[in-house]
Amino acid sequence: MAKVHVFDHPLIQHKLTYIRDKRTGSKEFRELVEEVAMLMAYEVTRDLPLEEAEVETPVGPAKTKVLAGKKLGVVPILRAGLGMVNGVLKLIPAAKVGHIGLYRDPETLQPVEYYCKLPTDVPERDLIVIDPMLATGGSAAAAITFLKEKGAKNIKLMCLIAAPEGIRTVQEAHPDVDIYAAAVDEKLNDHGYIVPGLGDAGDRLFGTK
């Protein structure tokens, strides 16, 4: 069964408090989501392979290490996943970015796909799927299924807030996909919103509604 990694880093927890706060406006919300995504990316990439290297410092030769050149891809689920892209790219700028457009039908809560553009070499890349909210898990599970159909073999899911229901859905559908979250909340309400969560991530990021 895939693991769930919950980040207890003080900076992540501090920033998440202000992301949750309903008084936080779109500008600050966007900045905080980007910052938390960057901090989370630091942990999510902890197992990247390294190889030996050598450089000349001003004092002499140094045996060091560099990334072994593993190909990475970041796949935001539109729209709210976009808010996390720049934070991740600050740490791994060479990653290619694919986009999967999904929205939840407000009545059925089922994901509806409306856009997809992925790097051509998906089967060779380790992918990080990003979306701030893992609620019923329908959107993330559908996105991961889609990536596997395109040949992806190594996928991680990174979200800010997960509900127990969403974790269960993804674990059952994709037991090979580890989930990384800044918090696991209590439950979903009758409209499929995470309680206490942060509200509608897309609307808060982009100032819609």
Kindly list the residues in this chain that would bind ligand URA in the complex (CB under 6 A).
Answer: 80, 133, 135, 192-194, 197, 200-202
Segment interacting with ligand PRP (CB under 6 A) among 24-32, 34-42, 49-57, 98-106: 98-106
Q: What is the DSSP string of 74-109?
A: EEEEETTTHHHHHHHHHH-TT-EE-EEEEEE-TTT-
> Is 190 among the catalytic positions?
no
Which of the listed partners (ligand URA, ligand PRP, none) does 19 bind, with a CB threshold of 5 to 8 Å by partner kind? none
Q: Does 45 bind ligand PRP (CB under 6 A)?
A: no
DSSP state of 146: H
Which of the listed partners (ligand URA, ligand PRP, none) does 137 bind, with a CB threshold of 5 to 8 Å by partner kind? ligand PRP
79 cis-preceded (ω within 30 degrees of 0): yes
Q: Does 201 bind ligand PRP (CB under 6 A)?
A: yes
Write out the H or E segment, with its range, that includes residue 205: helix 201-206
> Is 108 among the catalytic positions?
yes
Under 8 Å between Cβ of 3 and 174:
no
Q: Which is nearer to ligand PRP, 6 or 66 (CB)?
A: 6
**Dihedral sign for Cα atoms in the order 155, 17, 32, 102:** positive
Minimum distance from CB of 104 to ligand PRP (Å)? Answer: 4
Token digits for 175? 């037991």
* 167 annotated among ligand-binding-site residues: no
Alpha-carbon distance of 107 to 144, in angstroms, equals: 23
Token digits for 167? 């974790």
Q: Does 167 bind ligand PRP (CB under 6 A)?
A: no
Catalytic residue numbers read 104, 108, 200, 203
Positions that interact with ligand PRP (CB under 6 A): 77-80, 102-104, 109, 111, 131-140, 166, 192, 200-202
